[in-house]
Structure 1
Amino acid sequence: MTNEDRIGSLHEEAQEWKQYGPEHQLLHQDTSRRRMQLPKQVCDDNSHAQIQNMRPDRQWMYQRRTRGLIDPNFIDGVNSFVEFAKAHSNCLDGYLMRCPCNHKKCRNRNLLDEDTIKAHIAKYGFVENYETWIHHGESDDGIIFRGHVVGEVFEQFVEDENLSAFGTMIHDVVGPSFQSNDIEDNPTPAIQHIYDLLRAEQQELWPNNPNRISKLSVVARLMNLKAEHHFSERLYDDFCQLMKECVPSNNVMVDGFYETKQLVRGLGLPVEQIDCCKRACMLYWGEDRELISCKLCGHDRYKRGRTNFGSRKTMVPYKKMFYFPLTPRLQRLYASNATAKHMRCHCEHEMEKDGVMRHCSDSPAWKHFDKMHPSFASECRNVRLGLCTDGFQPFRQSGQQYSSWPVIVTPYNLPPWMCMKDEYMFLSIIVPGQANTKDKLDEIGVETYDVASKQNFRMRAALMWTISDFPAYSMLSGWSTTGKLACPYCMEDSYAFILTKDGRNKKWFLKGKLVKKATPQVKSGDQILEEIESFGLQKITEINGEEINYDIKKHCNKCGWKKRSIFWDLPYWKTILIRYNLDVMHIEKNCFDNIFNTVMNVSGKLKDNAKSREDLKVFCDRPELHMDERTKRFPKACYILDRKQKEELCNWLKELKFPDGYVSNMGRCVDQRRLKLFGMKSYDCHVFMQRLIPIAFRELLPQNVLEGLTELSIFFKDLTARVIKDKYMQRLEWEIPIILCKLERIFPPSFFDCMEHLPVHLAYEARIAGPV
């Protein structure tokens, strides 16, 4: 049954609740339980002991059935409960209220309409121990509470019982110093926006509407629908006009999207458009705001010959970026009761004595930072940040060469189940452009009010590390991730060599040699900074135009470094144990693609071809894979499936079913004509790599091949566990080289590019920086 079918059935039951008398209702609910085939314990009432301990006027809540039928007293009680909740507007979101049924998806979390709530309560009963209706306007001492959900329910005290959720949102935005009753004769535009919001929050959509729907609540919900369902502005305008026609004529409904933006712009956070040099040399910002040409390369800031609006010329920049200031977004976290108390989670929880790491604050890197910077660590409300960036091509289908680079920042102060949610990943920068920005993306506290402790403090922020895929790793760190020195951990101690058939260099030939050298020690921040400065590397913004390519190429070929990252300007950057984290998801996806495409023999993507077999003959002693001199053909390898096996695997994947929300429909990614997968997202590859590889290839591959792939699958599964231990990560550090050696005895040398080498360092990063 789909979600739409479930919702439809609930609404049908709600209508039957209102249409039929008590006798029909009782019979309907009893047959509903049998039809849904619910377990008896789900439909039965709570224990007799719990009912006896309740206040007498609320015992009806858990005496739902009498002789298998719904008790009439229970029906009357539900009706009185709904009327009580409707009388407290601070507990309503428009015409919606929290559903107190005992279904696992509700339990005072979901906002539903009145009829659906009645149907839910009739089917599932009330949530346990809800004798006091704190989410519907009641408490033991008469104080009114309201609920606010951001991933879970937070109960918050509100001094003004007439303050709705939208009114509280406005007060969170404007801060504690604003008093709505301090009316100014000539308010500034910013203050006038606040007054407009407060007025819209108190102004009903039309006078005396039964659900007391305010103008602001309707606008806020429409904006949410626009974002969720990707409304166009034209659709939004037409929808507003339809609503104006459906409600009484004396309404105050907005006319369209423009009026909505004018109303809610005071709720938003600031955003700035900053002009950039076309060659990405500099930003026209701060003291360089008024320049009309780049001070590094001399390129013009504005396009020439562009006219608009008749004869009036407009100054159109060649390139611009969007900057979303981070400070007000962090301050907003402390301005809201829903998040302020959770910003201390990292210091209030205690690490288990068994050494389990559940949060980044349990990691050695976090504790080392506290030890090196005690003044910063002494204020637990100071913010620790992680930064991530990656490029994508938004117009890939149209074939246009256009890329965008978003920069995402997330605060690690929040608990694990919050800091990785979308709403707490702050988009700080968007760099759009026709060309790839790549190498040129480089770019004191503030008084803040903490609503949880009701006091001001000086908030400071520190960047703990970055997380990126391998190309972006090069852009952020300044280390060249191509060629022989691609690995940023092994550096010059790498044993990489170039294959003779795919390259011209034949010097690094290691056949027949046993390597006994220990793994290289990870260099400290002081050692790396000293090395960068010894080569005289500069930041990209300090290199003049004609010197860029020559200077970068010279130093990159010499040492692996190609520039001095701007992050080294941070005074604490060299004291951090891990500055740049490898993105596990990208590495896992690349490993999966190499394995699956090679095993499925996908043309153009497999790592086993004619040149690879020729290299195999030179570097390895595996004559069973050499070319047959008589037929001039290469024999089939043991790790490649034949057509019948590939058809069986594709048919199995086509019919494979997963729980809702676990993974996308993988059957849509199967190309049964070409016998391959397409359109696989990173998370789909993540699930396939960790869950399906040992099952999918169990009866299709030889035991030695299946064993190596299964051990690699288990490695990624253990690595990405939600909780980890230091000794487990040390075990993975010891196991992963052995796993890769097993795979080297199976797959050809061309299979092992840098992506197959990077897993060697992932367990170390998890052991130092915490759970992936």
Structure 2
Amino acid sequence: MDTCKICNTSKWKSKAKVGAVGVSGDGNNRKKVPAKVLRYFPLKPQLQRLFLSSKSVEDMRWHANDSKNDGMLRHPRDSEAWKHFDLTHTWFASDPRNVRLALASDGFNPFGNDIDVYLQPLVKELKELWTTGVDTYDSFKKEMFTLHATLMRTISDFPGLGSLSGWNTYTGLACPSCDIDSTPRHLPHSKKWCFMGHRRFLDQRHRFRLNKVRFDGQQDMRGPPKMLSGLQILEQVQNIDVTFGRKPDKERSGKRIRGGRPTQGVNQQWKKKNIFFELPYWKDNLLRHNLDMMHIEKNVCDNIIFTLLNDSTKSKDHLNARKDLKAMGIRPDLWPNENGRISPAVFTLTTKGKKRFLTTLKNINVPDGYTSNISRCIDMENLKLNGMLKSHDCHILMEQLLPLAIRATLPDDVSAIMIDFCSLFRQLCSKVLNVDDLKKLQNQVVLTLCHMEMIFPPSFFTVMVHLVVHLVEEVKLGGPVHYRWMYPVERYLGILKSYVRNKARPEGSIAEGYLVQEILTFCSRYIENIETRWNQLGRVDDEPINEIQTDSRVAELFPRVGKSVGGSSYYTLTPIEKLQAHRHVLTNCIIVDYYLRQYRSIIRSQMRSGARSTSEVDKKVHREFPHWFRNRVSVHDKIGD
């Protein structure tokens, strides 16, 4: 096709645009320049290379050979979604070499719903991998077999989840797990959607359900929302008709409409029937679109820190938030007065508390590579956090540093709730989880969120805070979160961006760089005795040298461990510190024990021969054993330094 079937636009750039980029020559002989280029690397050859390499073929069946049925979640194979898929498609699970995939998308925006157009080649290949498969050579068993593959889930940030699934994530029904079984609440003064109502996840007889004053002014006797199956969602989107791309000129009236729109009402929550339902097994998957822990933790951390510090631009506690409390008729002690002034809340840090809070964060020292330099973001003069904290910094703050910083700066009842909230993320991010403990963890999550509803204003509860209540259920379905979050995807995007050499053609540069890297990676698995990406040392090499120290040289007292990182620093010891270090080495160093034993034996022998003092013994030792005495003196000098 030379033109778009929707708007009749040519697939080639016009002559004027082509001439503008420097293409010359006769119009008839000029090479046509496409308006858009989709660079797609087929999936089948990549999967075949994994089995063709003897270095990676054994890892492709590790999940089946090393399985443990002890009730612990260590790998996605232990999750309910994996086991349910095995029971539903037994022929696929019979061969452990069949591959299960996850699709990650981030870092680009192909106009929302139109991403399905770009996914068509991938979906076509996934259909072929499911039905017919591809002939593959197994270098471990030395045989040919038919390789099949399936797409288990997608991994993306929350807006990306909306683009892939078709669910509208910008309304009061933004939560895809609750679906339409929720009551949206719009805050009139803050002009945003509020996602409270976590009491519905409590036990039916819990006392919080009847409390009106400390929550949203109403009783909540609803039951928890039921997670819909793939078949139920397929019924919801079955009749949605979407036209991708730009609409014809007559319909769009001179305005460009980005993305498709359903024809049966603008207010529908589903924007499209996503393309993955064309896969015959997609409706059977228990977890289709994964909630990303990385972005949820990042946004929750920002909400907490900027609200505690009462940041003028990013705090969730402001004048409009207090007006919303008055409109809801709850917490009259926090209502603004006649002059529009608001009193500090119980969670607002005082000036003294801010100084203590920020000083604690600024003075914390962590190992190399543990976090970035968080102290660079702390402004002690204005008592603010400046700059953008990275996602991994927020991860460390929430799980490690924030409980330490708020322990002595907030009232006990508030700090206890916040510490419990931070511990929830730490437990959810564990590499090994006990299935029996997940129910207790879910109850703890719900109860902590209910306590937070009694403390923070409704504007604090954005959709990202609400999504925390569904994380435990997703752990049951999908397994540990470190297999399903965006950290490796974000890091790999940084690698892809480093391939760009021609900024006028970034996509082409990334494609060529990726192809070269793939070739070098495959070849480097068979190259020995040279440094490759598989055997090179890390940035910090702290592995000790395991060598048997037989020589009594002084250098062996201080063996080289690792390599230096950064510049060196000098520190002068006081006489007491020098003496303590001297005695510590003499007491604990094995090599020094050899010298001490030899020295004692020489002293005893010299005293028997008639020596009258220690100095006289030293003179005789120096005279009879000059080499050893010289080493002993240098050892003492080294210890003193």
TM-score range, shorter chain: 0.5 to 0.7
| TM-score where L is the length of structure 2 | 0.64
Q: Is 1:326 equivalent to 2:43 in the alignment?
A: yes
CA contact (8 A) 1:480 1:561 kept: yes
CA distance in 1, matches of 2:156, 2:334: 38
> Could you say if the C-alpha distance between residues 299 and 543 of structure 1 is closer, same or farther in structure 2, counting changes exceeding 3 Å?
closer
Question: 2:226 pairs with 505, 516, 521, which one?
Answer: 521
Q: Is 1:452 equivalent to 2:161 in the alignment?
A: no
Question: 2:58 pairs with 331, 335, 341, which one?
Answer: 341
Counterpart position of 1:293: 3
CA distance in 2, matches of 1:668, 1:612: 31
CA distance in 2, matches of 1:466, 1:481: 16
Counterpart position of 2:187: 499
Q: CA deviation at 1:454?
A: 1.1
CA distance in 2, matches of 1:603, 1:632: 16
Q: Secondary structure at the match of 1:441?
A: helix
CA distance in 2, matches of 1:523, 1:627: 42
CA distance in 1, matches of 2:217, 2:334: 19
CA distance in 1, matches of 2:379, 2:279: 50
Q: CA deviation at 1:531?
A: 1.7
Q: CA deviation at 1:379?
A: 1.4
Alignment of 1:83-232 (within 5 A): none
> Could you say if the C-alpha distance between residues 303 and 658 of structure 1 is closer, same or farther in structure 2, counting changes exceeding 3 Å?
same
> Could you say if the C-alpha distance between residues 448 and 678 of structure 1 is closer, same or farther in structure 2, counting changes exceeding 3 Å?
same
Cα RMSD of the aligned pairs, angstroms, is 2.6
Counterpart position of 2:313: 604
CA distance in 2, matches of 1:552, 1:512: 37
Counterpart position of 2:277: 568
Question: 1:770 pairs with 457, 479, 486, which one?
Answer: 479
Counterpart position of 1:753: 462
CA contact (8 A) 2:242 2:260 kept: no
CA distance in 1, matches of 2:100, 2:361: 42
The amino acid of 1:367's aligned partner reads: K
The amino acid of 2:175's aligned partner reads: C
CA contact (8 A) 1:362 1:770 kept: yes
What do the CA deviations read for 1:265-298 (whole angstroms, capped 9, x no partner)? Answer: xxxxxxxxxxxxxxxxxxxxxxxxxx33222222
Counterpart position of 1:623: 332
What do the CA deviations read for 1:577-615 (whole angstroms, capped 9, x no partner)? Answer: 111110011011110011111111122111111111111
What do the CA deviations read for 1:393-447 (whole angstroms, capped 9, x no partner)? Answer: xxxxxxxxxxx35xxxxxxxxxxxxxxxxxxxxxxxxxxxxxx532211113111
Counterpart position of 1:664: 372
Counterpart position of 2:523: none
Counterpart position of 2:235: 530
CA contact (8 A) 2:154 2:289 kept: yes
> Could you say if the C-alpha distance between residues 295 and 721 of structure 1 is closer, same or farther in structure 2, counting changes exceeding 3 Å?
same
CA distance in 1, matches of 2:140, 2:76: 23
Percent identity reads: 40
CA contact (8 A) 2:398 2:422 kept: yes
Q: Is 1:744 equivalent to 2:429 in the alignment?
A: no
Counterpart position of 1:723: 432
CA distance in 2, matches of 1:698, 1:549: 48
| TM-score where L is the length of structure 1 | 0.54
Q: Is 1:441 equivalent to 2:115 in the alignment?
A: yes
Counterpart position of 1:280: none
CA contact (8 A) 1:539 1:565 kept: no
Counterpart position of 2:394: 685
CA distance in 1, matches of 2:75, 2:104: 18
Counterpart position of 1:396: none
Counterpart position of 1:590: 299
Identify which range, 556-565 or 473-482, moves more after superposition: 556-565
CA distance in 1, matches of 2:193, 2:477: 37
Structure 1 or 2: larger strand share? 1
CA distance in 2, matches of 1:543, 1:751: 39
> Could you say if the C-alpha distance between residues 556 and 764 of structure 1 is closer, same or farther in structure 2, counting changes exceeding 3 Å?
farther
Counterpart position of 1:376: 92
The amino acid of 1:341's aligned partner reads: E
Q: CA deviation at 1:315?
A: 2.9
CA contact (8 A) 2:326 2:332 kept: yes
CA distance in 1, matches of 2:457, 2:113: 33
Unmatched 5+ residue regions in structure 2?
Answer: 120-131, 198-211, 482-641
The amino acid of 1:517's aligned partner reads: R
CA distance in 2, matches of 1:504, 1:641: 25
The amino acid of 2:187's aligned partner reads: L
The amino acid of 2:454's aligned partner reads: R
CA distance in 2, matches of 1:660, 1:692: 16
Q: Is 1:302 equivalent to 2:26 in the alignment?
A: no
Identify which range, 648-657 or 519-528, moves more after superposition: 648-657
Question: 1:367 pairs with 76, 83, 90, which one?
Answer: 83
Q: Secondary structure at the match of 2:51?
A: helix
Q: Is 1:390 equivalent to 2:106 in the alignment?
A: yes
CA distance in 2, matches of 1:542, 1:366: 39
CA contact (8 A) 1:447 1:459 kept: yes
> Could you say if the C-alpha distance between residues 519 and 562 of structure 1 is closer, same or farther in structure 2, counting changes exceeding 3 Å?
same
The amino acid of 2:431's aligned partner reads: R
Q: Secondary structure at the match of 1:493?
A: coil
Question: 2:417 pairs with 705, 708, 711, which one?
Answer: 708
Q: Is 1:311 equivalent to 2:19 in the alignment?
A: no
CA contact (8 A) 1:364 1:769 kept: yes
Question: 2:150 pairs with 462, 471, 477, which one?
Answer: 462
What do the CA deviations read for 1:245-281 (whole angstroms, capped 9, x no partner)? Answer: xxxxxxxxxxxxxxxxxxxxxxxxxxxxxxxxxxxxx
> Could you say if the C-alpha distance between residues 556 and 525 of structure 1 is closer, same or farther in structure 2, counting changes exceeding 3 Å?
farther
The amino acid of 2:235's aligned partner reads: E
> Could you say if the C-alpha distance between residues 762 and 449 of structure 1 is closer, same or farther in structure 2, counting changes exceeding 3 Å?
same
Counterpart position of 2:582: none
Counterpart position of 1:127: none
Q: Secondary structure at the match of 2:427?
A: helix
The amino acid of 1:769's aligned partner reads: G
> Could you say if the C-alpha distance between residues 465 and 706 of structure 1 is closer, same or farther in structure 2, counting changes exceeding 3 Å?
same
> Could you say if the C-alpha distance between residues 745 and 555 of structure 1 is closer, same or farther in structure 2, counting changes exceeding 3 Å?
farther
Q: Is 1:351 equivalent to 2:68 in the alignment?
A: yes
Q: CA deviation at 1:572?
A: 0.3
In terms of Rg, which structure is larger? Answer: 2
Q: Is 1:646 equivalent to 2:349 in the alignment?
A: no
CA distance in 1, matches of 2:82, 2:152: 8
Q: Secondary structure at the match of 1:607?
A: coil
Count of residue correspondences: 436
> Could you say if the C-alpha distance between residues 646 and 318 of structure 1 is closer, same or farther in structure 2, counting changes exceeding 3 Å?
farther
The amino acid of 1:645's aligned partner reads: G
> Could you say if the C-alpha distance between residues 656 and 321 of structure 1 is closer, same or farther in structure 2, counting changes exceeding 3 Å?
farther
The amino acid of 1:536's aligned partner reads: I
Structure 1 outlier segments of 4+, above 6 Å? 541-545, 547-551
CA contact (8 A) 2:431 2:480 kept: yes
The amino acid of 1:515's aligned partner reads: D
CA contact (8 A) 1:479 1:562 kept: yes
Q: CA deviation at 1:540?
A: 3.6
Alignment of 1:264-279 (within 5 A): none
CA contact (8 A) 2:240 2:272 kept: no
The amino acid of 1:317's aligned partner reads: P
Counterpart position of 1:395: none
What do the CA deviations read for 1:625-657 (whole angstroms, capped 9, x no partner)? Answer: 12233x542111121223333233333322221
> Could you say if the C-alpha distance between residues 632 and 703 of structure 1 is closer, same or farther in structure 2, counting changes exceeding 3 Å?
same
Unmatched 5+ residue regions in structure 1?
Answer: 1-290, 392-403, 406-435
CA contact (8 A) 1:719 1:729 kept: no
